[in-house]
Amino acid sequence: MSIFVDENTKVIYQGLTGSQGSYYGRLNREYGTQVVAGTHPTKAGTEVDGVPVYANVGEAVAATGATASCIFIPAPGVRAAVMEAAEGGVEFIVAITEGVPAHDEAWFFNKLRADFPAVRLLGPNCPGIISPGKCNIGITAGHIAKAGGPVGIVSRSGTLTYQALYELKQKDIGVTTCVGIGGDPVPGTSFIDCLEAFEADPETKAVMMIGEIGGSAEEEAAEYIKNHMTKPVSSYIAGVTAPPGKKMGHAGAIVSGGKGTAQAKMEALESAGARVGHNPTEAGELMAEIVAAL
């Protein structure tokens, strides 16, 4: 099985008429994803390569039965777009956009939790989600992912999401679902959310987790792994050589007061029973050893 999305997921692209939205909307549809609609308040009634455009998400859901939405619009509009999707009736929102203000992220994270608890948000500032051979929502290149399980992947880093998929494909290891949660300070979906879903998925037999410096998400995930995971985990933490106090890449990747270092995260994961690689390739090799022993 896969988590969160599968071949039956119908997706609306908010921003389908824009350059990035139309480019990735086409790629995702060519991959096999059911891209059933786009939205734009002034372009309702038009089409993008045969995909109908509606004025808003609510109208698109009513016409197509879509259950997911992918947001490809500029950062200032993401807050409104997230709420339009939730109010329009979708259950899963993928926000690709980077540069969303942190106060907007905090606002709609808490708004969704309070008013739309059944709606899951992935992102913002994430590569999206791919269940290989079934559904690809976002910007991940489908050809680097091998279908068929037995490994689930969750990653904070977009680039390392792609490398994790490719490392496993090179070893002929399939993936059930790969989730890029994004590296912003207030992600809609956490490591623990994904670990919990992978633990419950009968076809996912092991999990690869990619983290980075900053914050405490990886240490919290380690605690979850220690207390709740029965499936083996391999991991890699980016940022071992990052200078203290420096922000490296993502808005959430900042170390302060001696907290959030790569070394501390690696130690927490190792103490929880995860096998930790010192680079992405080593993490892939560790997962290959885990899969061979299943």
Q: Catalytic positions, please?
A: 250
Length of the chain in terms of residues written:
294
Question: How far, in Å, CA of 278 to CA of 104, rounded?
Answer: 35
- What DSSP assignment string belongs to 194-245? HHHHHHH-TT--EEEEEEESSSSHHHHHHHHHHHH--S-EEEEEE-TTPPTT
Picking from 107, 85, 88, the residue whose alpha carbon sits closest to that of residue 96 is 85
Question: How far, in Å, CA of 277 to CA of 26, rounded?
Answer: 36
Question: How far, in Å, CA of 165 to CA of 140, rounded?
Answer: 10
Q: Is 43 exposed, middle or buried (0-12, 13-18, 19+ CB in 10 A)?
A: middle
What are the phi and psi torsion angles at 59 (to 5°)?
-65, -40
Picking from 49, 78, 47, the residue whose alpha carbon sits closest to that of residue 60 is 47
Q: Are 100 and 92 in contact (CB under 8 A)?
A: no
Question: How far, in Å, CA of 210 to CA of 153, rounded?
Answer: 8
For the record, the structure tokens of 65 come out as 């039965």
For the record, the structure tokens of 55 come out as 């004025």
